[in-house]
Copies of this chain bind each other. A is one copy, B any other.
Amino acid sequence: MVYYLLNIRFWGVVMKRSNRLVILTDFFLEYPRKHIQLPYFVSLCETTKSSISEDLDIINDVFQKQGMGYLQRTTGASGGVKYIPEYSHKKSMQFIDELKNKLEDPARILPGGYLYMSDLLGDPTIVREIGRVFASAFSKMDIDVIVTVATKGIPLAYAVASFLNVPVVIARRDPKVTEGSSVSINYVSGSSRKIQTMVLPKRSLEEGANVCIIDDFMKAGGTITGMVNLLAEFDAHVQAIGVLVEADDEEEERVVNSYTSLVKITNVDIRHHNIEIQAGNYVENHIN
């Protein structure tokens, strides 16, 4: 925020609309969901309130037509504007389709029937899109913080957090001396059936926080359940659970019921080198 006001002096004269539009567009994309009072922009751009108001109309119009969200304006003494990034259903669907196609590549099959996904999770553009799609689904919810567990869910959690303008808290499988006192629980991982530990530093989460859990993968749901139980120790309210990929577990019933997935692995046939992927429940729940 503070970096913005810094460069005003360079302009010297009153800024033209074309310049203001570039500056304001950049500002909204950089600070989604940040409430800004109009006088801030008036001073940022050295112009009048009515000019800024017209600029906002133009930007809002383009954002909406591009299916990338809208500017939420409020009137009154503390009124202002906030950019709410929300992907249109069409864009979300298109992205999920693309993800499906990428995951269906048989070269992804690893010994044991696992799928190699590190290339997709290592691509910052794809990760950002995943974040945008989840943030669109959870846009109307009251979320204070994103929680994930190390390691692979971390980039996704930050991507969602950046669009929702909230912090990220990372549970670990091993306590770190550099985080102070912590709360830990034991849980049974669904896929490996092993007893594992999950730890959250005491300082990292306020009591009673509204939480969104994000992870990359869910089978039986043991890890997610572990997170839910750990969060209960902080009296947190789990408002939403988002998993990138869910997979059917024939042997075990799923222990988590209320979640949002982008894609679902329905079959991995090692012998015939074939993977079947469907759209996740995101499509039924959020696109209609």
Question: Could you list which residues of chain A lie within 8 angstroms of chain B, going by C-beta atoms?
Answer: 2-4, 6-7, 10-11, 17-19, 21-23, 25-26, 29-31, 58-59, 61-63, 65-68, 88, 90-91, 94-95, 98, 110-112, 114-119, 122-125, 127-128, 150-151, 154-155, 158, 161-162, 165-170, 172, 177-180, 201, 203-204
Least CB distance from A53 to B in Å reads 14
Cα A284 to Cα B166 in complex, Å, equals 33
Task: Given A21-B22, A31-B125, A122-B168, verify A180-B150 contact (CB < 8 Å).
Answer: no
**Does the CB pair A29–B31 fall under 8 Å?**
no
**Does the CB pair B167–A123 fall under 8 Å?**
yes
Q: How many copies does the complex hold?
A: 2
Cα A179 to Cα B121 in complex, Å, equals 12
Chain B residue, CB-CB nearest to A145: B122
Least CB distance from A244 to B in Å reads 13
> Which of B6, B114, B167 sits near A119, CB closer than 8 Å?
B167
> Which of B10, B21, B95, B201 sits near A3, CB closer than 8 Å?
B95
Query: For A21, what are the chain B residues with a Cβ–Cβ distance below 8 Å?
Result: 18, 21-22, 25
Query: For A119, what are the chain B residues with a Cβ–Cβ distance below 8 Å?
Result: 167, 203-204
Least CB distance from A43 to B in Å reads 15
**Does the CB pair B91–A3 fall under 8 Å?**
yes
Cα A88 to Cα B170 in complex, Å, equals 32
Query: For A128, what are the chain B residues with a Cβ–Cβ distance below 8 Å?
Result: 162
Query: For A94, what are the chain B residues with a Cβ–Cβ distance below 8 Å?
Result: 2-3, 6
**Does the CB pair B158–A116 fall under 8 Å?**
no
**Does the CB pair A65–B154 fall under 8 Å?**
no
Query: For A115, what are the chain B residues with a Cβ–Cβ distance below 8 Å?
Result: 178
